[in-house]
Structure 1
Amino acid sequence: MGIEESKGVVRRLVEDCVNTHRAELLEQFVAADVRVHPGSPGTAPDTEGVDALRRAFAGFRTTFPDLRVTPEQFVAEGDLVSLRWTASGTHSGPFAGIEPTGRRVAWGGTDTYRLSDGKVAEWWRNEDVVWLLHQMGRDLVPADS
């Protein structure tokens, strides 16, 4: 699979699955034994397998029912694709011990995907959870620092 095709798989994962809220399409884009590594300590353990990923999607959809991820930049080399993205949604369900605030939030991140046989086999997440929590009213860094 070429670099452009690999970027296309990731783009379709975001556009056709994440942004349309259709977790039932995950098998089209990710391997059955996919492994997702969260980049933010304490947010979640590794997710292993498409069924676990589907459950994680459902939980995130409960927290942000109107979630929208906007791809900003793709970079690819070999079997890896990185995506810089921004996301937005309404905090409507519990997140990291914070009860729903009803606030509209936006944050960004960069994910890296390893593809094998045309599907995502491994996925590393890195997102600005500190900024996200700040928007929910939880500041982790004192204002005077």
Structure 2
Amino acid sequence: MSMEPTSVEANKRLIRALYEDCINTRELDRLDSLVAPDFVGARGERGPREFRAGIEAVLTGFPGVRFEIHDLFGEGDRVAARWTFRATHRGRFAGLAPTNADVIQEGHVIYQLRAGRIVHAWLQADRLGVLQQIGAIPRSFADARPDRPL
């Protein structure tokens, strides 16, 4: 099913607003208007509440996080975003105590939209790089030793 260019442009504006007007500004109450009740995420999370919980986990571990969008491409009912986030690890993240390490993460997300809301997201992000930057695992497997857990 093809969409008119204005719909693709509207979807791209919605995804840009997700990052710039919602996540970067910490106005997470806006998520209810951006994420559909039947949303399904990359790890199986469902609905706006679980979408928000994922963002809150990042904001807890990296309270100063800012996302920079490099590219937005749209076709049909999908928008692809390429972004970088920069932050300092100042809170618990993935069960790990804060390290005050500066972190840079790159990611790509393909969003599917319907009726002006996000219904699906497929995320590929450099989570390994983040864990290495905060010291949770060695920066290289050459640094791993049998006496030191990964």
Q: TM-score range by the shorter chain?
A: 0.7 to 0.9
Q: How do 1:1-145 residues align onto structure 2 when only pairs under 5 Å count? A: 2-38=7-43, 46-137=44-135, 138-139=137-138, 141-143=140-142
* Deviation of 1:140 (Å): 6.4
Q: Secondary structure at the match of 2:21?
A: helix
The root-mean-square deviation of aligned C-alpha atoms, in Å, is: 1.8
**Residues in 2 aligned to 1:58 and 1:74: alpha-carbon distance in whole angstroms:** 23
Q: Secondary structure at the match of 1:15?
A: helix
Runs of 4+ in 1 over 4 A off after TM superposition: none
**Residues in 1 aligned to 2:18 and 2:140: alpha-carbon distance in whole angstroms:** 34
Could you report, residue by residue, the CA deviation over 1:58-89 in whole angstroms, capped at 9, with x for unpaired residues? Answer: 22211111110000001111101000100011
Q: Secondary structure at the match of 2:54?
A: helix
Determine which structure has more spread, i.e. the larger CA radius of gyration.
Answer: 2
**Residues in 1 aligned to 2:54 and 2:126: alpha-carbon distance in whole angstroms:** 18
Matched residue, 1:41: none
More helix by share: 2
**Residues in 1 aligned to 2:55 and 2:69: alpha-carbon distance in whole angstroms:** 18
Matched to 2:141, the amino acid is: P
Matched to 1:72, the amino acid is: H
Unmatched tracts of structure 1, length 5 or more? 39-45
Matched to 1:139, the amino acid is: P
Q: Secondary structure at the match of 1:13?
A: helix
Matched residue, 1:42: none
Name the count of aligned residue pairs. Answer: 138
Contact 1:84–1:109 (Cα < 8 Å) also in 2:
yes
